[in-house]
Amino acid sequence: MPNYFLFRSSDVTHQECLDRMLVGQRDDMKSHVQNVKKGDIIFIHKTSKLTNVQSQFIEGPFFAISDGLKDIEPEAWNKGFPWQVKIEKKSDTVKINQESFKQFQLQYSVMKLFFNFEIDKIVGRKLMEEIGYTVNYTENKIESNETLNDIDVDFRLRYQAKYRCEDG
């Protein structure tokens, strides 16, 4: 059963995360990064300056293809984030805009600027389902449904259906 993690990036580091398919944290986050195991699900929270919080988003899902280790790529981010996890995309990623964070019970907790590093399984599953994935814990499978773009996700979050119909 995968766990869910939320790595931070900035205007300066975000593109390098995507180019290297690598996420990282400082030495003081070592114990958290060591909890990441191959197969876990990673989201990236792109932060921005306090004056521009509306440009923040969460991007994902990415899938850990390594455990959390020190210096997978030692030169990454000018050696600023030595505790790293190698990631991959299994399909297009989706960006969840800042105004939709509350929909997933994502509340800033660390210095009122950042989210917790580990995402609760219920919240992680809700994130995955909202962006088009089915998480099946009994068979330990994650399946991609239709790919949604950023606009679809934002629309579905803002205008949720009050009723749901299922064949059965």
User: Residue 4: what are its φ and ψ, rounded to 5°?
Assistant: -120, 135
Q: Give residue 113's pLDDT.
A: 47
Condensed to tens digits (0 to 9), the pLDDT of residues 98-107 reads 777 767 666 5
Band (pLDDT 50/70/90 cuts) for residue 123 is confident
Condensed to tens digits (0 to 9), the pLDDT of residues 36-89 reads 999 999 999 888 765 566 678 889 999 999 999 999 999 999 999 999 999 999
This prediction's pTM: 0.76
CA distance linking residue 22 with residue 13, whole number of Å: 11
Q: Give residue 147's pLDDT.
A: 45
Band (pLDDT 50/70/90 cuts) for residue 152 is very low
Q: Give residue 153's pLDDT.
A: 47
In the predicted model, what is the mean pLDDT of the chain? 78
How large is the average pLDDT for residues 123-138? 76
Q: Give residue 62's pLDDT.
A: 94
CA distance linking residue 128 with residue 40, whole number of Å: 12
Residue 25: HSE in the Cβ half-sphere, 13 Å Cα cutoff: 20
Q: Which residues contact 105 (CB under 8 A, 6 or more apart)?
A: 120, 123
The H-or-E segment that residue 131 falls in is none
The pLDDT > 70 percentage for the chain reads: 67
